[in-house]
Amino acid sequence: GQQLNQSPQSMFIQEGEDVSMNCTSSSIFNTWLWYKQDPGEGPVLLIALYKAGELTSNGRLTAQFGITRKDSFLNISASIPSDVGIYFCAGQIQGAQKLVFGQGTRLTINP
Amino acid sequence: GAGVSQSPSNKVTEKGKDVELRCDPISGHTALYWYRQSLGQGLEFLIYFQGNSAPDKSGLPSDRFSAERTGGSVSTLTIQRTQQEDSAVYLCASSLEFWGRNGYTFGSGTRLTVV
């Protein structure tokens, strides 16, 4: 069954706005990853997090590994048109051998 | 190769036909995964290969779906007697470590349309 709850499912924003999305679970995670998928392409890794409380940035993107190890968020500052796409969280549950993925957040930007 | 390569990129098939989708992972990556993504949906896990271990087939939706990985490299996902609900993008990914600590690298997918 679904082990990751990603929200929101979709976002419609104006160019220049900041964006925030998150993933939560009832399970404890050892690793959190954030991916972006452009139309017609496979997901591409944006940020990887390995420790509870870790805050990592990649340009205008910032992600954090929640203190409880059961959640993570991704922020995008000053959005631009090329930020459009689907963002997926993913993580390795403690004791598991493969990643689990969230359902994705579809980001649409109005110019 | 430099990335994960999938072929064909698009496939249109008639209902009831069999199809084979190919994935060529990054050289040296021991783990290989297949996912399915229906229109506008998330990633549905299908099957996972790790080295010489028995594959994790827990995500295959029916016995019409099968996959093999020859020589620890190229993988083929086969769908027999295709149905319209099989229409989706099939994504392959590979990783260096067995559980992908540094994430998976995805291919661009095969878009399957069953008519």
pLDDT tens digit sequence for B69-109: 988 799 999 999 999 999 999 999 999 876 666 789 999 99
B104: Cα within 13 Å, side-chain hemisphere:
34
Give the separation between CA A5 and CA A78, rounded to whole angstroms: 25
* Inter-chain touch A35–B101, beta carbons under 8 Å: no
Who among B42, B56, B104 is closest to A99 (CB)?
B104
**A61-65 and A55-58 beta bridge pairing:** antiparallel
Confidence label for A3 from pLDDT (cuts 50, 70 and 90)? confident
Q: Please check whether residue A105 is in contact with residue A24, taking contact to mean a CB–CB distance below 8 angstroms.
A: no
Token pair of A64 as six digits: 């954090």
* Inter-chain touch A43–B43, beta carbons under 8 Å: yes
pLDDT digits (tens, 9 = 90+) for A18-67: 999 999 999 999 999 999 999 889 999 999 999 999 999 999 999 999 99
φ, ψ (nearest 5 deg) of residue B71: 60, 25
Distance of CA A45 to the CA centre of its chain: 10
